[in-house]
Structure 1
Amino acid sequence: MSSIEWPWQYSFPPFFTIQPHAETRAKQIQAWRSLVLDYHRSVKQSVLDVREAERSPLFNNTAINRQLPRDGILAVLEDLAKTKNAEPLDKSKNRWYVYWHTLEEWGDAVYEWARGAGLLNAVCTLFELTQGDDTSGQEFHGLDSEVMVKALTTLANKNKAELIMFDDNQGVKFF
């Protein structure tokens, strides 16, 4: 896990209060969007629980004794959903998937790797894709398996892959 480089706004107390002025708020939300994606990429974490997020280093800067409140976190997540970088896992919107690449971008990255590795018309398990030695240098290595399935579904929708279910394993055949 690499460490994140916090932007200057992270040490600026008003950053942790959603601003009422529309233009200022838009810039603030954009800065939060970048920070959330950079943070999740850095820690390779795909799921955010809003109930726990207020205490996480991402939304809680103990050095300046400031934290983004729940409604602010939800505003950032809703904005990320508009760019397809987040989606709620439940109707109450307590848990969210956060995608530092959109699902389509993830799918394209996996497909390009498979093509480069000569795996077209071959079957790979999800474990091989997310945990295997052959993918250890790829950004999708270690990706949450549910997110990987969603990314592979984008490939299936483009007829570039087929998801395969067998026993307790899931796999994919690339075309």
Structure 2
Amino acid sequence: MALSTHTTASGFLLPSIHSAPPFFTQQPNASTQSIVGEQWIRLILAYARHRNLFTLRIEDAETTGGDWDEILRNERIHRRLLPSHLSFLFSEMVSKNIAVYEPPKQTRSVLLYWRLPEEWAEVLHGWAISTAQLNTILTFYEITDPPIESPLTGIPVTILRRAITVLNKTGRAQIIGVADGEGVRFFAGT
């Protein structure tokens, strides 16, 4: 089978490397594995962004029928990413600060930063301005589950909190305690 790109059912374009059987195997040569690892990481982050996915678990490589099947498996060449290889990729992503183990103190699940907290901070602040939410106290729920879908719909509170922390440091947001949890007030900033 020749290497070729493939469009998944969700509309994601898989790179041609995804049709190469060795891509699904952890490579014994460190420099080869480094290249393969970088390609996997780019693929995982691009797919997560495409599908608006934030969490990847070892179980996603162990079982079928999940959100990640389109990239963790290639039925056309009868290959799948093994959990041990995915675990290795987790450690690489965490070491590069493009993922964090979530919940902390375990290594079977990561929260993916397909946008860094600093980038989410800009998206969040831009959303607050475009929806006329400056100087208004909003709950985290109102941001993550707005009545009209936004780029922040479904964002995990962990990432939201980190983005707000970035905005807080630049004087563009303030975390406020509200009756049913936490809220945030946005400012125009400088």
Amino acid at match of 2:156: D
Q: TM-score, normalised by structure 1?
A: 0.85
Amino acid at match of 2:30: A
Alignment match of 1:115 (pick from 110, 113, 129): 129
Amino acid at match of 1:68: L
Amino acid at match of 1:103: P
Aligned residues: 173
Aligned to 1:66: 79
Q: TM-score, normalised by structure 2?
A: 0.79
Are the counterparts in 1 of residues 61 and 80 from structure 2 also a CA contact under 8 Å? Answer: no
User: Higher relative contact order at CA 8 Å, sep ≥6: structure 1 or structure 2?
Assistant: 1
Instruction: Indicate whether 1:170 and 2:182 are aligned.
Output: yes
Percent sequence identity over matched residues? Answer: 28
CA gap 1:109/1:2 in 2 versus in 1, 3 angstroms: farther
Structure of greater Rg: 2
- State the shift of 1:174 in Å: 1.0
The correspondence of residues 1-175 of structure 1 with structure 2, limited to 5 A, is 2-55=10-63, 56-57=68-69, 58-89=71-102, 90-134=104-148, 136=149, 138-175=150-187
Amino acid at match of 1:71: S
Gaps of 5+ in 2: 1-8
Amino acid at match of 1:109: V
Gaps of 5+ in 1: none
Structure 1 runs of 4+ aligned residues shifted over 6 Å read none
What CA distance in whole angstroms lies between the structure 1 residues aligned with 2:161 and 2:10? 25
What CA distance in whole angstroms lies between the structure 2 residues aligned with 1:164 and 1:62? 49
